[in-house]
Amino acid sequence: NRSARFALTGASGYIAPRHMKAIGDSGGQLIAALDPFDSVGILDSYSPDTEFFTQAEEFEKYLHQLRRDGQGIDYLSICSPNYLHDPHIRMALRSGADALCEKPIVLHPEDIDALKELEQETGQRVWTILQLRVHPALVALKERLDAEFAADPGLKKDVELSYVTGRGNWYMRSWKNRLEQSGGLATNIGVHFFDMLVWFFGDMQRLEVHERSETLVSGYLELERARVKWMLSIDTDYVPAELAAQGQRTYRSITVGGEEIEFSGGFTDLHTEVYKRTVAGQGFSLDDTRPAIEIVSQIRNLDLTQPSNETAHPLIG
Ligand code: NAD
């Protein structure tokens, strides 16, 4: 069994080292990397033999050459900005590789349909990183919930979700704050927790957006088995005072039927876990990710609603 062969786009960025580590830790090899920005010395820490390109055309040519020589790559890991995911996934599939793409897989639900057609045409697959689905505290919660729902199929839970993850001033000036490049706050960061919610509680039935700014988005979501008051912010003012006093800039908390599960910690090796599953053929697919992409795309476009006592999130006035 030869080790899985990877290439990677977005090699100089923030998240790429986690992929480089996951490739090594899951027994793979990083053959080639692309980034127009050449501050990529990090490669020496993981795989100094990796070929590096700053031009997409040359990178793609190299992938095709490898394939002709019978040494094609098996996966293209995609760590580029969100609006480039779709074209980079296409580059992967046309190069005879599967794509293993960061979240959000694409910005628009229609793009998923088009990519499914391309999967059919090429016989390659598209996988994504949904690392909350392998977070130990959340996997344990999912198992408990599944057992409860099996015992009482009509059960609907009351849920509060707070997701605060502080970002510095740079965020506002980067592609991450440009709607057409990142999809905006709910898409770029919220996609993690909306995916978790549909994974726990089933399909969307009703959605309201109460607040939507560059730093805060909140609303109400009804799913098959839950009523959810949700809020997401990159403003550390929303970190509860006692945690902020300890210097904490992150607060991720879900309360299900009055019981709180805090999952701010335990994030470090989740990418490696997703890589292991993907290489074993058990990764997260386009169909897995579609419900969350639909929700975040609606959050971008829905008119704002006035919250009521039943729908208002307690942290939002
Ligand atoms: P980043 O801006 O730090 O890095 C993006 C990199 O892509 C940059 O080095 C940039 O030069 C490069 N790039 C730009 N255009 C390119 C092109 N045409 N071809 C190849 N590379 C190109 O952003 P980041 O924080 O590393 O985010 C990258 C991706 O990872 C995003 O999709 C983001 O949503 C995702 N992400 C996921 C998590 C997670 O927890 N799973 C966390 C952070 C980011």
Mutate to test the pocket of ligand 1, among 79, 134, 138, 284 (most ligand atoms within 8 A of CB): 79
List residues bridging with 75 in a β-sheet.
Answer: 6, 98
Mutate to test the pocket of ligand 1, among 58, 76, 80, 178 (most ligand atoms within 8 A of CB): 80
Q: Are 165 and 220 in contact (CB under 8 A)?
A: no
In our burial notation (b when 16+ CB lie closer than 10 A, e otherwise), range 214-250 reads ebbbbbbbbbebbbbbbbbbbebebbeeebbeeeeee
The whole-number pLDDT of residue 162 equals 95
* DSSP string for the chain: -PPPEEEEE-TTSSSHHHHHHHHHHTT-EEEEEE-SS---TTHHHH-TT-EEES-HHHHHHHHHHHHHTT---SEEEE-S-GGGHHHHHHHHHHTT-EEEEPSSS-SSHHHHHHHHHHHHHH---EEE--GGGG-HHHHHHHHHHHHHHHH-TT--EEEEEEEEE---GGGGGSGGG-HHHH--HIIIIIHHHHHHHHHHH-SEEEEEEEEE-SSEEEEEEEETTEEEEEEEES-GGGS-HHHHHTT--EEEEEEETTEEEE-SS--TTHHHHHHHHHHTT--EEHHHHHHHHHHHHHHHHSPB----TTT--TT--
Closest-lying ligand 1 atom to the alpha carbon of residue 34: 20
| ipTM (interface predicted TM) | 0.99
* pTM > 0.95: yes or no: yes
Ligand 1 binding pocket (C-beta < 6 A) is: 9-10, 12-16, 34-37, 56, 79-82, 84, 102-103, 129, 131, 188
The whole-number pLDDT of residue 2 equals 82
- Report the C-alpha gap between 216 and 237 in whole angstroms: 11
Q: What is the CA 64 to chain-centroid distance, rounded? A: 28
The whole-number pLDDT of residue 317 equals 65
The whole-number pLDDT of residue 71 equals 97
Closest-lying ligand 1 atom to the alpha carbon of residue 188: 34
The whole-number pLDDT of residue 264 equals 77
The whole-number pLDDT of residue 227 equals 98
Mean pLDDT by 10 residues, the chain (317 residues): 93 98 97 98 97 98 98 98 98 98 98 98 97 93 97 96 95 97 97 96 98 97 98 96 93 93 80 96 97 98 96 90
Token reading at 298: 């609606």
The whole-number pLDDT of residue 265 equals 76
Closest-lying ligand 1 atom to the alpha carbon of residue 174: 2
Q: Are 33 and 5 in contact (CB under 8 A)?
A: no
Single-letter amino acid code for the residue at 57: E
The whole-number pLDDT of residue 1 equals 67
Mutate to test the pocket of ligand 1, among 102, 111, 172, 232 (most ligand atoms within 8 A of CB): 102
Closest-lying ligand 1 atom to the alpha carbon of residue 78: 29
